[in-house]
Amino acid sequence: MDKIKVIGQQRLSGKIYISGSKNSVVSLLPAAILTDECVIEKVPHISDVDNLEEILRYLNVKFSLESGTIYIDNGDILNKPIGEEYSSKLRASYYFMGALLSRFKKVEISFPGGCNIGKRSFDFHLMGFEKLGAEITIKDNLYIIKADELKGAVIDLPFPSVGATVNIILASVMAKGVTVINNAAREPEIENLIEFLNSMGAKIKGVNTNRLEIDGVSKLSGGKIKVIPDRIEAGTYILAGVMNGDDLEICNVEAKHLTSFFEVLDKMGANYKIIGDRVITNKTLNLKPVNIETNVYPGFATDLQQPITTLLLQANGISVLKENIYENRFQNVQYLNEMGADIEILGDTIKVYGPSLLKGKLVRTSDLRAGAALVLAALSASGETTITDIKHLLRGYSDLIKKLSNVGAKIWLIDE
Ligand code: EPU
């Protein structure tokens, strides 16, 4: 069941509801172990969540999931070494570094997994733990991080890393004294995490700014949060609508999280309308080429770089797209070219020569957002496309096949 088939060029109409954000929930679940009991609503149906639940189960955390709401009880939690069989399934397993260090002052965890889209080192996370007073030993792939006491510190991040910001918040929330994170990431998912921790009694100030101030508290208790809508999933389906929509409605969208994305669509002349939390999209002809650079929030999200490349294929002229966050996030290009695109890779930049007529082919998903780019390509290509290795897609797109089938796409899993 690791392949999907798509018959392209169907018009899409009806409603697609956006699920809770992957990049939020993957920090909220590790954060949940910092309290006694808590509730997380709007949990998406993705394999990254399944894999984090596996880790919670292994740590003897009790939880139940009912209609997207997870109830967590940490009454019997145990601090156990998290081996590679758990950690390598996703990137965010490393948020248990910050969370377990915070709760038990000691953590043993193997190297994390995640998409192969660049170096993705986590030296800033480790530097942050050390500043808080932790000692780190690395044996092969095992990270042993411990502290007699965690003490507040001023931490200047060399780059506003999402992961480092999350891990340092988790580690410092019960440290003694005040921690300041300068040059912190301010992605909406960080705001979601801070709201959750503050609902447990944490004292974190500076939401939505690059300077976070965390006044350590001795204990956290309770906690409730709703996962914000996934801005990348929303962007992906909006692109599907601009390519193939017939009044396709994308519902539960937080439009303010997608400002840079909408600016690009405006420049291209895309046909879409925002009405409250819905975005109504229509197939747009005569799209204009555009230049895009990815950047940290509120810049154009790197996670939408690969999906929007598929739209650029339909523009009349040359678009230029520069990737500033990751070194290896163009693995979709080879397959798009095999489907009939004309894209040239020049280091950290691609040149997309539009318009191209795509034809269905056998293609492979190399990473999550490359997979999304290929699904978009398959939906607008003539004929049949088979996409293999869709496990990457299932990590981050909740009920992808069901959502697209419901609006008229011909897409199904192949059971072989
Ligand atoms: N970096 C370092 N050292 C560090 C941390 C980061 O050099 O200690 C570099 C990375 O190598 C990368 C850049 O800084 O080149 C950005 O990394 P960041 O830490 O901000 O990203 P991340 O936390 O690893 C999260 C999302 C990504 C998303 C980025 C940027 C999660 C689990 N992942 O990754 O999501 O692309 O932020 O917004 O939240 C995806 O959803 O497809 C995805 C890859």
Residue 402 pLDDT greater than 90, yes or no: yes
Q: Choose the catalytic residue: 115, 315, 350, 372.
A: 115
Asked whether residue 270 falls in the same domain as residue 188, the answer is no
Of all protein residues, the one whose alpha carbon is nearest to atom 7 of ligand 1 is 121
158 lines ligand 1 (CB under 6 A): no
State the DSSP code for 232: H
Q: Point out the domain boundary residue: 226, 258, 278.
A: 226
Contacts of 274 (CB under 8 A, 6+ apart): 253, 255, 262
Q: Are 183 and 159 in contact (CB under 8 A)?
A: yes
Asked whether residue 14 falls in the same domain as residue 27, the answer is no
122 lines ligand 1 (CB under 6 A): yes
Task: For the beta carbon of residue 256, count every other beta carbon within 10 angstroms.
Answer: 11
Asked whether residue 200 falls in the same domain as residue 150, the answer is yes
**Buried residues in 311-344 as b, exposed as e (16+ CB within 10 A):** bbbbbeeebebbbebbeebbbbbebbeebbbebe
Domain of 347, CATH number, reads 3.65.10.10
Residue 1 pLDDT greater than 70, yes or no: no
Asked whether residue 259 falls in the same domain as residue 192, the answer is no
What is the gyration radius of the CA atoms in the chain, in angstroms? 21
Q: Measured in angstroms, how far is the CA atom of residue 271 from the centroid of ligand 1?
A: 31
Probe target for ligand 1 pocket from 24, 27, 111, 161, with the most ligand atoms within 8 Å of CB: 161
- What average pLDDT score do residues 133-141 get? 94
pLDDT for residue 311: 98
Kindly report the pTM of this predicted structure: 0.98
Please give the mean pLDDT across all residues of the chain.
Answer: 97
Q: Point out the domain boundary residue: 226, 242, 262.
A: 226
Known catalytic membership, residue 115:
yes
**pLDDT 10s digits, 243-267:** 999 999 999 999 999 999 999 999 9
Residue 416 pLDDT greater than 80, yes or no: no
Q: Measured in angstroms, how far is the CA atom of residue 22 from the centroid of ligand 1?
A: 13
**pLDDT 10s digits, 321-370:** 999 999 889 999 999 999 999 999 999 999 999 999 999 999 999 999 99
Asked whether residue 13 falls in the same domain as residue 66, the answer is no
118 lines ligand 1 (CB under 6 A): yes
Bridge partners (DSSP) listed for residue 212: 181
pLDDT for residue 118: 78
Asked whether residue 58 falls in the same domain as residue 168, the answer is yes
302 lines ligand 1 (CB under 6 A): yes
Of all protein residues, the one whose alpha carbon is nearest to atom 17 of ligand 1 is 161
Ligand 1 atom closest to residue 117's alpha carbon, by position in its atom list: 44
Domain that holds residue 367: 3-19+229-414
Q: Measured in angstroms, how far is the CA atom of residue 296 from the centroid of ligand 1?
A: 10
Asked whether residue 172 falls in the same domain as residue 314, the answer is no
Asked whether residue 240 falls in the same domain as residue 169, the answer is no
**pLDDT 10s digits, 73-131:** 999 999 999 999 999 999 999 999 999 999 999 999 998 888 787 777 899 999 999 99
Asked whether residue 191 falls in the same domain as residue 243, the answer is no
392 lines ligand 1 (CB under 6 A): no
Asked whether residue 234 falls in the same domain as residue 195, the answer is no
Asked whether residue 218 falls in the same domain as residue 245, the answer is no
Q: Point out the domain boundary residue: 172, 207, 226.
A: 226
123 lines ligand 1 (CB under 6 A): yes
**pLDDT 10s digits, 294-313:** 999 999 999 999 999 999 99
| High-pLDDT (> 90) share of the chain, % | 95
